A and B are shown apart, each in its own frame.
Chain A
């Protein structure tokens, strides 16, 4: 498969095994700046492994991943974590907020880790929390907010560094459909207006309906539904 021109992140022929288990078996992927791509497929098909490889968290056994023309698999660990910190944001299903920190401190954390002052980081964090309609929770700790509120705080945190790509692995998996859709609406609105691409792993069609297109992963192989038809 040749990736369409202008792709921001492209993966080719990714293979990854965990012992005897083949998680990826020649998976392909590409995403444009500002595009929202849903990664669908049954449980255990390799969706999370694909996302982790794309995000430079897991190194594939073979295959190539290029981000903005640079080969991610050839980077040193330090280069890869710098890329993750500066260009990527992450939202997971749960358990991602630091329980000891307040919500605004959680959202500000990625900025603090890249050297911003506390004041500056929290000012930017608060702007994102307003955007996600959770600024009134700034003084609360994650244990004191609801699941839907916590996910919105997590979305604010994923966007706070102005990433080019947000990786979201079942971001609504622990929410009811009303809260799940609200999170999707806010995430995709914010991402689109900042021209941030979103890799959205989900098995829920209503969530995938917030994407621009979908790929389907089965047995570690991916199928790009747009280029099939």
Chain B
């Protein structure tokens, strides 16, 4: 999962201090893996260098966690592009997809669009596997079926999430 894009997305609703960014990330996405401060600052300095964020103010007392960051136009474009690009279908995508959906809801983008785009990307892979299965021998069929069932599991999660978008929107707004 892209921590940089996630932090950028969190900044889209308004400037935040480093410590505040970490807290928002951990609360929304870091259930089993909270960020280290070190990760936040190395990520933020990379984003600064690339012009995707700017320092918007520094609190008295110094220390890197006291810097307040704001997203730039280039940063917004970068988040937009990341959200709109479907993930390559592979196992255990859930955390990235979940992050994208939550960020889309937080930034008032169309989360259903992201899910539709991802379904389409998954189906593209599933068509290729299905075609290989049709033309192949039993071994091909079994190998393709294994991959197909995994992709199908992603999609079942995706459909369930799509059906719960309204509830999720309420939950993330809190």
Spell out A's residues near B (CB within 8 Å): 40, 42, 185, 203, 205-206, 208-212, 214, 216, 218, 223, 225, 228-229
Other-chain residue from B127, B130, B152, B159 in contact with A42 (beta carbon distance below 8 A): B159
Contact B129–A209 (Cβ < 8 Å): yes
User: Among residues 85 to 107 in chain B, which have CB atoms less than 8 Å away from a CB atom of chain A?
Assistant: none
Contact A205 B134 (CB under 8 A): no
Q: Is the CB of A209 within 8 A of B127?
A: yes
Contact A40 B119 (CB under 8 A): yes
Q: Report the Cα distance A205→B123, complex, angstroms.
A: 7
How many residues on B have C-beta within 8 angstroms of the other chain's C-beta atoms? 20
Q: List, in ascending order, chain A residues with CB within 8 A of B119's CB.
A: 40, 205, 214, 216, 225
Interface presence of B122 (CB below 8 A): yes
Given contacts A229-B117, A229-B120, contact A185 B134 (CB under 8 A): yes
Task: Write the nearest CB–CB distance from A207 to chain B, whole angstroms.
Answer: 10
* Cβ < 8 Å to A, chain B residues 17-61: none
Given A185, A203, A212, A225, which contacts B120 in the complex, CB threshold below 8 Å? Answer: A225
**Minimal beta-carbon separation of B122 from chain A (angstroms):** 7
Which B residues are within 8 Å of any A CB, using their own CB? 112, 116-117, 119-120, 122-123, 126-127, 129-130, 134, 148, 151-152, 155-156, 159, 162-163
What separation, in Å, do the CA atoms of A144 and B132 have in the docked complex? 34
**A208 & B123 in contact (Cβ 8 Å cutoff):** yes
CA distance A216 to B116 in the complex (A): 8
- Enumerate 12 A-B pairs (CB-CB under 8 Å) in ascending A order: A185-B134, A205-B119, A205-B126, A205-B156, A206-B148, A209-B123, A210-B130, A212-B127, A214-B119, A216-B119, A218-B112, A228-B120
Chain A residues within 8 Å of B134, by CB: 185
A225 touches B159 (CB 8 A): no
Question: Once bound together, how far apart are the Cα atoms of A209 and B148, in whole Å?
Answer: 9
A206 B162 Cβ-Cβ under 8 A: no
The smallest beta-carbon distance between B141 and chain A, in angstroms, is 10
| Residue contact B163 to A228, C-beta cutoff 8 Å | no
Q: A205-B151, A209-B123, A210-B130 are known contacts; what are 16 more A-B pairs with Cβ within 8 Å? A: A40-B119, A42-B162, A185-B134, A205-B122, A205-B126, A205-B155, A206-B130, A209-B127, A209-B130, A209-B148, A212-B127, A214-B123, A218-B112, A225-B116, A228-B120, A229-B120
**Within 8 Å CB of B127, what residues of A?**
209, 211-212
Knowing A42-B163, A218-B112, say if A206 contacts B117 (CB, 8 Å): no
A218 contacts across to B, CB distance below 8 A: 112
Complex CA–CA separation, A206 to B119 (angstroms): 12
Which B residues are in CB contact (< 8 Å) with A214?
119-120, 123
Q: Quick check: B117 and A228 within 8 Å, CB to CB?
A: yes
Is the Cβ of A206 less than 8 Å from the Cβ of B163? no
For residue B66, give the distance in angstroms from its CB to the closest CB of chain A.
43
Cα A42 to Cα B130 in complex, Å, equals 23
User: How far does the alpha carbon of A38 sit from the alpha carbon of B117 in the complex, in Å?
Assistant: 15
Residues of A within 8 A of B112 (CB): 218
Q: Please report the C-alpha to C-alpha distance between residue A140 and residue B107 in the assembled complex, in whole angstroms.
A: 60
Residues of A within 8 A of B117 (CB): 225, 228-229
Residues of B within 8 A of A223 (CB): 116
Nearest residue, chain B, Cβ from A216: B116
Select one of A206, A211, A229 contacting B152, CB under 8 A. A206
**Which 3 residue pairs of A and B lie closest in terms of their CB atoms, listed nearest first?**
A209-B126, A209-B130, A225-B120
Chain B residues with Cβ under 8 A from A203's Cβ?
A: 159
Rounded to whole angstroms, the CA-CA distance of A148 and B76 in the bound complex is 52
Q: What chain B residues lie within 8 Å of A228 (beta carbons)?
A: 116-117, 120
How many Å lie between the Cα of A42 and that of B166 in the bound state? 14
- Are A205 and B120 neighbours in the complex by a CB distance under 8 Å? no
CB-nearest residue of chain B to A211: B127
Q: Across the interface, which residues of A come within 8 angstroms of B123, CB to CB?
A: 205, 208-209, 214, 225
